[in-house]
Amino acid sequence: MTTHPPQREMEQAFLQRDAAYDGVFFVGVRTTGIFCRPSCPARKPKLDNVEYFPTAREAVFSGYRPCKRCEPLLTHGERPEWLARLLEHVDRTPEERLTDADVRGFGIDPARVRRYFMKHYGMTFHAYCRSRRMGLALQRIRRGDDLDDVILGHGYESHSGFRDAFVRTFGQPPGASRDAGCAVASWIESPIGPLVAAATENGVCLLEFTDRRMLEAQFTTLRRLFSRTVVPGENEHLASLRAELGRYFAGDLRVFSTPLVYPGTPFQTRVWEQLLHIPYGETRSYEDIAVAIGHPKAVRAVGAANGMNRLAIVIPCHRVVDKDGQLGGYGGGLWRKRLLLGLEQGEGILSVNG
């Protein structure tokens, strides 16, 4: 369930144009029908005329359109300054076990960090750091590094403490993990909200909007399909995907080339492969897809397979519409489907609102 800070805290952040709260909540102005970031430079309305939303999606669903000055749907890949500092520190010293006191030492409120990570990453900051340490430890174990060096190098003082944490993460002890694998996950900012991506050594296996209700189920499916734990990290496939998404949203990329991995039932994979054949800027109906895969009466089953697609945008399920041309459904929200189709049809990413 999505939550936002207490109202007094949001009011203060909004009045002070505190950019640290950008992405944590959004402000809808009843008198104009516009919604903004907390840091919006526009003249502030009376507080009686505003309401607060935990996500841009909820603001859009409530009838507000995005402000043209602060562009709340556009993140340009930027993170709040305090978050960038924190993650840079974790990347430099992933073996360090940060406490709330350490976080305060950066001049950051641990409660703010906790809320932000839960909302955008689906885990606490401390869970993120633990997963990062475990993912790096597994990489070293697979390289054949000495187990004592791995344990001491990742902030653990004893074999038993490391072993217990490793088993909780990967489901097996370190000694049995020389050939084990994991999927690494990272978060990608986009003009229509943050995405979570995951990849194995063979390719990208997940790309979903972080506010999608099915996200937790998708992670469960990934662990089952690949028999792997998903941990924070990066690899070449995620780097390639991040670059290609940037070009896609800029209108400079029509076909993705990043390797994809999408196991499913034979029927599901046939549907997903057919989606990959829908040209950029065009749409197909569910009936069209059913005919193309040789099952003209399986329209509902096609819709179900479409909804189970784990690779948003790159396997373009947003290009499937109802027979009468209406948008139909979309797991990421119809407002995103409108924007994606508008982008591909040359209208620009913000040409369709609400």
- List C-alpha distances in Å: 280 to 9, 39, 135, 253: 44, 35, 36, 9
Catalytic residues: 36, 317
CA 309, 253, 338 angle in degrees (round to 5)?
55
Between strands 26-29 and 50-53, the pairing is: antiparallel
- List C-alpha distances in Å: 197 to 32, 52, 54, 133, 263: 36, 28, 22, 19, 16
C-alpha span between 272 and 268 (Å, rounded): 6
Q: What is the largest CA-CA distance in the chain?
A: 64
Q: Which stretches of the chain are DSSP H helices?
A: 7-15, 56-61, 81-92, 100-105, 110-121, 125-143, 147-152, 159-170, 215-226, 236-249, 266-275, 286-292, 299-307, 334-344
Helices 125-143 and 110-121: crossing angle in degrees, nearest 10, is 60
Question: What residues contact residue 81 under an 8 Å CB cut-off, 6+ apart?
Answer: 19, 20
Residues 38/80, Cβ–Cβ less than 8 Å: no
| Residue that has been written with the tokens 């390289």 in this structure | 143
